[in-house]
Amino acid sequence: MSAVSDRQVITDSLGVGVGVGLYGVSFGALATTSGLTVAQACVLSLLAFTGASQFAFIGVVAAGGTPTAGALTAVLLGARNTFYGITLAPLLRVRGLRRLATAHLVIDESTAMAVTRDSVRQSRIGFFWTGVSIFLIWNLMTLVGAVAGNAIGDPKAIGLDAAVAAAFLGLLWPRLDTPATRWLALLAAVVALGLVPSTPAGTPIIVGGLLAVVVGMQFLKAAPEVTE
């Protein structure tokens, strides 16, 4: 029997949901001050619903890149959710059309709240309570932030033009928890910065991200297998 009650799992999940969901106000404000309409910001949160990818998209658009370049960057960052799904599948055990709705809730926080549990039952509780609460609050706060950002006008007037990069870095930094990931991020950043003067906006991020994926995959292949 698990030492943690179902109620405690729900409480923990809601705590994460509120804490992360409230951050959606930042995305909404930055989206509209970067050129998106209130409706576009809200639809992006509804359909994309993965913070790092959303901030990357508006970062590219705000820098003058095309929506296509922004979308490619967002997809590249969101690809990690595929691997989360593979890990979660045997825990969640959903079938049919429910798989589509469940897949939409596969994000960093819902995955973390699921894989750290002692039982399949509590994994499901942690995943769904976290995913649903973040989804609802994030989208509500996106609307609030988008309306507020729309009223601000020129983001440069209050220094908000640099906030997209700061917000993205804030989401990325906790993932750089090993020397290998830090060196890989530094390599990608150096390559991206080197391409800034000679490539269109958005291209440096895409190239740097692709480089990180390729090098990261090669690193994993070269790593020795761990046996029990």
- Per-residue pLDDT tens listing for the chain (228 residues): 457 889 999 999 999 889 888 888 888 988 888 888 999 999 999 999 988 888 888 878 877 777 888 888 788 777 778 888 888 999 998 988 889 899 999 998 899 889 888 899 999 999 999 999 999 999 999 999 999 887 765 555 555 555 555 555 555 655 666 777 777 777 777 877 787 777 765 566 667 666 766 776 666 455 444 333
Q: Are residues 81 and 104 in the same domain?
A: yes
- Give the global pTM: 0.71
How is residue 211 written in tokens?
């480089």
- As for how many domains the chain has, the answer is 2
CA distance 78 to 75: 5
Residue 166 lies in a domain: no
**Which domain does 19 fall in, by range?**
6-161
Q: Are residues 66 and 157 in the same domain?
A: yes
Q: At which of 161, 188, 213 does a domain end?
A: 161
* End-to-end C-alpha distance for the chain, whole angstroms: 26
CA proximity to 115, closest of 92, 98, 81, 131: 92
CA proximity to 147, closest of 53, 31, 23: 31
